Structure 1
Amino acid sequence: MKVGIYARVSTEKQEESLDEQVRMLVEFCERSKYEVYKVYSETGSGAKSKREMFMELMRDVEAKKFDAVVVLKLDRFSRSMLDLLTSVERLKEKGVDFISVNDHIETTTPQGKLIFHIMGALAEFERSLIYERTKVGIERAKREGKVCHRPRKNINLDRVVDRYKKGIPLTEIAAIERVSYSTLRNRLRESGIKLETRLMED
């Protein structure tokens, strides 16, 4: 099986830790008889950085250049549970498996698939709680006569289209623009912009 390795640390002071991550992941792949297609490693906070190597990894996922993504820990791959599940769902749609070595999670196994089903249910529960809290807050604000809507975020659609043509998935473009994937997709449709149906299809 051909795999892509992804490793990340939060600060430059952890460069040595990054090398250690890569070493452990390469050794794991050697023991498992996996062929390493490429090592994608970078330094930067998952919440703040553009994570260029992560974006390159996801572009290669789109191109189906390997069969699985291997990381050391879940928190090295994504900044939150919701982001993690969104990214893994993209892998699943492309037929690419996900392996987290220290967490003993592999979507290549029935046990690993079950764990992610449970995590998905928890994430959906979290989304429901956020929705309910937001709804209650809006209703309270209305009763108090406060303005409830937030200003419409300006999105440079020309820049979005340019990035898309360069092979960057819309999910990653949305993260860069700091909007949700659904918001970006709807804004494109409102503006009459039709992209090739790589990610725009329902």
Structure 2
Amino acid sequence: MDFASTPATMRRPLRVAIYARVSTTDQNPEGQLTALREFADRRGFEVFREYVDYITGDTTKRRRRAPEFESLMADAKQRHFDCVLVWKYDRFARSLATLVTALNEFHALGIDFISHTQNVDTTTPMGRLFFNVIGSFAEFERDIIVDRVKLGLANARAKGIVLGRPIRDPSAMERIAKMKEAGLSLRQIAKLEKLSASGVRKILLRAAAAHGEGINF
């Protein structure tokens, strides 16, 4: 039985995680927290925990960790709460990529998201559309990245660029191929060359491809 169809008398309060973030130039989160506490109280939510990050406004330190954000995401994976309540997007995530990633994770975990001042509330039927829109943008971004990677690889191959890690010992390919022809196993060759068996296999496959031949292991 899902939450929406459960009789009100049988429902437990929705557990919410309140998240607030302030910079070192604005070090009092109480404005955000008071409003979010009042909102949670009006809706009959049970506050699981408040997470507050203090992030520097110094542009040279923008990659500073947000430990409370990380704690919130870890607790989300443990399903310690049902919903995340924030003041607005930019008080929750410091970049669009972080926002999209977090929201996709919440959606996958069945955790709702409310942005108090922006009228986004996925606990409502209309608000659930928000997750679908975010998911569409994330999929679009992934497709663009994949297409760019494929195009880059194709251009590199067309220019004769050898992809992958550089070969540390150019003579190893011929040496290993001869040992294989002599009947040595992958493990025996690996021991002699101080490589892993999978590494030997890759070198043999590369040698076969270079000569247009097949190979049996």
Q: Which has the larger radius of gyration?
A: 2
- Name which of 14, 19, 22 aligns with 2:33: 22
Q: Deviations over 1:85-113 (max 9, x none)?
A: 33233333433221111221111111111
Shift of 1:149: 4.7
Corresponding letter in the other structure for 2:30: D
Corresponding letter in the other structure for 1:73: K
Classify 1:24/1:55 alpha carbon distance in 2 versus 1 (closer, same or farther; 3 Å).
same
CA contact (8 A) 1:41 1:53 kept: yes
> What SS does the aligned partner of 2:118 have?
coil
TM-score, with length taken from structure 2 = 0.58
> What SS does the aligned partner of 2:145 have?
helix
Question: Are residues 1:67 and 2:82 paired?
Answer: yes
Shift of 1:148: 4.9
Question: Are residues 1:42 and 2:24 paired?
Answer: no
Runs of 4+ in 1 over 6 A off after TM superposition: none
- Distance in 1, matches of 2:90 and 2:164, equals 33
Q: Give the corresponding residue for 2:206.
A: none
- Distance in 2, matches of 1:2 and 1:106, equals 15
User: Matches of residues 120-131 of structure 1 in structure 2 within 5 Å?
Assistant: 120-131=135-146
Q: Deviations over 1:132-156 (max 9, x none)?
A: 22322332233334455589xxxxx
CA contact (8 A) 1:81 1:123 kept: no
- Name which of 78, 99, 120 aligns with 1:84: 99
Shift of 1:38: 1.4
RMSD: 2.7
Which structure 2 residue ranges, 5 or more long, are not aligned?
1-13, 167-217
TM-score, with length taken from structure 1 = 0.62
Question: Are residues 1:12 and 2:24 paired?
Answer: yes
Q: Give the corresponding residue for 2:42.
A: 31
Classify 1:99/1:7 alpha carbon distance in 2 versus 1 (closer, same or farther; 3 Å).
same
Shift of 1:12: 0.9
- Distance in 1, matches of 2:109 and 2:141, equals 26
Classify 1:92/1:127 alpha carbon distance in 2 versus 1 (closer, same or farther; 3 Å).
closer
Which structure 1 residue ranges, 5 or more long, are not aligned?
152-202
- Distance in 1, matches of 2:152 and 2:62, equals 26
- Name which of 113, 121, 135 aligns with 1:106: 121
| Number of residue pairs the alignment of both structures matches | 149
